[in-house]
Amino acid sequence: MIRDSLTKLSEKENFEEKISAINLLKSEKGDPFFGNKYGTKIIYEFSDYNCGYCKKIFYDLWEITEEFNDVKVIVKEFPILAESSFISAKAGISAHLQGKYSSFHKNLMSHRGKINNDIITEIARESEVDVNKMFKSMNNKKVLDKLRKNIEIGKILGVKGTPALIIGNEIIPGAISKDEILSFLKKEYN
């Protein structure tokens, strides 16, 4: 009986911690996104530009935002795989500060191969990002604080890899199919 009580208490505390962390995630303002700016069906994605699975799931997420006008994907840049992941994440947030995140993100997610400053520069130009302004802002406090906060929230949520999706109160680690994403959206928002 005592063991059952302790188990239930532990489960309740874990659930409350998870909800608290999700509320913290949802309270964050100014994150990069794609889809409908005013979308009411929100998917949070922890993502790394060097993650093959992130690149795979990106196309499904992009299609969903094109097919359903009320979906918004908020990207939590989560650079964990390489130094170039960190540089790319800073570039993505800097592109967001210029209002060019959606095209920059799509173009960088479509890139195959190693990412370096030359690739970031090329993709920024393709995406009509002011390259000089982007590189200047990549190490400013606002950009670095956003990355630090993403990593902090990811750790609290137990995100250990990318991609990781949060739909409603569901934390979904790893890549899932488009149909599974739609199923989670339907469960949460219908």
Q: From the DSSP assignment, how many helices (H) and strands (E) are in the chain?
A: 8, 5
Cα(62)–Cα(136) distance, integer angstroms: 29
Work out the mean pLDDT of the chain and round it to a whole number: 91
Residues 18, 169: contact at Cβ < 8 Å? yes
The answer on pLDDT for 17 being more than 80 is no
pLDDT at 23 exceeding the cut of 90 = no
In this structure, what token pair is assigned to residue 42?
């929100």
Residue 29, pLDDT > 70, answer yes
Q: What is the mean pLDDT of residues 158-178?
A: 94
pLDDT confidence of residue 5: 55
Give residue-wise pLDDT tens across range 115-161: 999 999 999 999 999 999 999 999 999 999 999 999 999 998 999 99
Is residue 8 pLDDT above 60, yes or no? no
Mean pLDDT of 84-96: 97
Could you please report the per-residue DSSP string of 126-159? HTT--HHHHHHHTTSHHHHHHHHHHHHHHHHHT-
Q: Mean pLDDT throughout 52-68?
A: 96
CATH class belonging to 40-189:
alpha beta
Residue of 168 and 28 predicted with greater confidence? 168
Confidence of residue 26 (pLDDT cuts 50, 70, 90): confident
In 3D space, the residue among 165, 51, 58 whose CA is nearest the CA of residue 107 turns out to be 58
Higher pLDDT, 15 or 107: 107
Supply 181's token pair.
């994403």
Q: Is the pLDDT of residue 172 over 80?
A: yes
| Amino acid 22: pLDDT | 84
Starting from the edge strand earliest in sequence, which strands make up the sheet with 41-47, in order?
A: 33-35, 71-77, 41-47, 164-167, 170-173
What per-residue confidence (pLDDT) applies to 16?
73
